[in-house]
Structures are given as C-alpha cells and as structure tokens.
Amino acid sequence: MKIDPLIEDILCKALEGRELSKEDAIRLMNVDVNSVEAYVLMAIANSATRKLFNSFGEVHAQIGINYAPCSKKCKFCAFSVADKSVELSIDEVQRRAEQFVREGANAIFLMTTGDYDFDKFVKIGRAVREVIPPDMPLVANTGDFGKSEAKELLDAGFTAIYHVVRLREGVDTSIDPSERLRTIEAAKSVGLDLSYCVEPIGPEHGPEEIVDAIFLAKSLKPTVMATMRRIPVPGTPLAKLGQISQLEQAKIEAVTRLVMGDDILAMGVHEAYAPCLMAGANQVYAETGPNPRDEIVDTSKGRGLSVRACRALLREVGLVPRDGPARSLQGPLRRERR
C-alpha cells in the first residue's frame, strides 16, 4: 500500500533528523486520522521518542492547591465557573507531595488559580521542598510574574515553571499573550526550566493555528513539551464545542514531537492516553486536588489519575517507568552537576 509521496518526503526528512518547516507540519496535520499516512506518522514519532529516551517514561504529579472563582475567566476552565472556594493547607500539600514521591512520581508540580497570592505560593513551595528529595524537580504552575518573583521561586527551591500561551490567549481568556511570554522570559532568565504545552486543543482549532502554537513553543526552548486536548467542563462557555478524539490528539502529538526534534528531555501528554503514548509521548501526569479540567473539587476522585495508574499505563505501552527524580525540569540542579 502506497502513501502520499508528499507526506512520504516529509516523513523521510524527520527520519533523517532534519528540521520540519511550518509547511511540512501543516501537511502532516492535515492527514486523515484513519489513513495509512497517519499511522506511519505516529509510528515514526513513537520510534523517535523510544530512541531518544531509551524507552523510559516519566510521571509528573500535580497538586492543585486551591479551587476558587478566578478573575482570568478562561472560557475552558472549571475555575471560571467555580461557585465556592476550597484551599488545601500547607500540611495537606506536604502530605500529598510525600505520597506522590512514595508512589514513584518523578516530578512535583504545584498549581493554583491565576490570581492566587504569590507570597503564599512561595511559602507553600518552600514547605514542599523540605519534604521531597533534594534532587526532585519542583515545578510552579501559577499566575504571571516578573523577574524578582522568578528569583523568589528559585530561592524557594523550585526548578521549573509550567507556563503556556494558550490557544486563542486573549480571546478565550482575559490574559494578554505578551504577559504570558514575559513570565516565561523572567523564569528562564534566572535559570528555571520551562514545561510547555499546546493547549487546550478543541475542534475549532485548525491545522495552521495549532502549528503556529507548536513553533512558538519551539522558539521558547522548553525542557518538556506536551499537548492537551480541551475537556468540555460543564458550564464553561466552550463546553458546547465538544472535544477532539484521542486519535486526533495522537496525530497532533506526533507532529509536535517531530517538529520539536531531540531538543527536549521529555514529551508529555494531558491527559494520559495510550494512543498518544504510541505516537511520541513518554510522559504523563498524575493529579490531585483542584483541576481546571474537572468540576469535582478533588480531581483524584474524578478525572485525575494516581501515580500508580500512570506507571501502569506506561508499562502497558512498553515504556519503562523511571524510578527517582525526572531527568527533565531540574533547572539549576542539572546545571550544578555539569
């Protein structure tokens, strides 16, 4: 069975380790998910990841600290329609972080709503750093900040940030995309690593828009890259638009992986889907506490997977769950060992 010669040429470029252009990526994004071309694309991305990471997989574990109405009013986020406020205590955040480590997490993320008090967040970060291994990546997923705040995060023991210019930022959110970029630059300027994602992908996002987001990500040089499909959270304005299939996301994952090349230390996927783990992903997320994709306040009782479940999924697709701290997102810890 023959495949489209134009697609074959692009995939040969990828196999040879040559960079893909935007035009290449758009052509790949336009292949039908049920076509031979799509499965060859995913197989090549899968093979590239297995080779680069020696078939190891990682579980990054995120603790949502608060559930509350958020002033950013992102049209896809559970916090935009929250009707109450719930916040974990420092002791509870520490307990959940220790539990994640015991279960085999490779990195710990702390997440808040966009306007959570920054000083309080730093205090929680210091407390978590005290109870996790000294070489365990600690990642901040919080609102926008400047260089002085980035230095505070670094001094508190954070090694990286998760920060993204979301699809249609400033249209589906009230946040100026340039503000997101300034935060990323501030974090990188003090030595924090960047975990990035093309998100939240919905049916209305066309190939060109998604490819533009991928190339923006590439220009920011993240340590970890990922893709995430939008979950239609009940009550949110974009819920009525539905969601893309796991197979469609697997195709996007594969294109993203090939565009990024080998300049990343992990390729992630939100949420943990087997098709994406067979299309270039090797890293998934365990979650507890509030989650912007879940109407249930503690996502561990809803959409969120445990570390054990994530590690089992990695094994199911032939990846070897990494033991101990991730090699990605270590920021200054990694540079200190050079």
Q: Answer yes or no: are the C-beta atoms of 49 and 258 closer than 8 Å.
A: no
At 300, is the pLDDT very low, low, confident or very high (cuts 50, 70, 90)?
A: very high
> What is the overall mean pLDDT for the chain?
96
The residues, any chain, with a CB within 8 Å of residue 14's CB and separated by 6 or more, are 20, 44, 45, 48, 258
Residue 1 has pLDDT above 80, yes or no: no
Percent of the chain with pLDDT over 90: 95
Q: Answer yes or no: are the C-beta atoms of 163 and 216 closer than 8 Å.
A: no
Residue 94 has pLDDT above 60, yes or no: yes
Cα distances from 248 to residues 38, 70, 134, in angstroms, run 10, 30, 39
Q: List, in order of start, the domains of the chain with CATH numbers.
A: 5-336 (3.20.20.70)
At 2, is the pLDDT very low, low, confident or very high (cuts 50, 70, 90)?
A: confident
Cα angle 168, 170, 172; round to 5: 55
**pLDDT for res 280:** 98
Give per-residue pLDDT as tens, 48-61.
999 999 999 999 99
Give per-residue pLDDT as tens, 185-216.
999 999 999 999 999 999 999 999 999 999 99
**pLDDT for res 338:** 43
Q: Answer yes or no: are the C-beta atoms of 7 and 188 closer than 8 Å.
A: no
Q: Report, as an integer, the average pLDDT of 128-149.
A: 98
- pTM comes to 0.96
**pLDDT for res 336:** 58
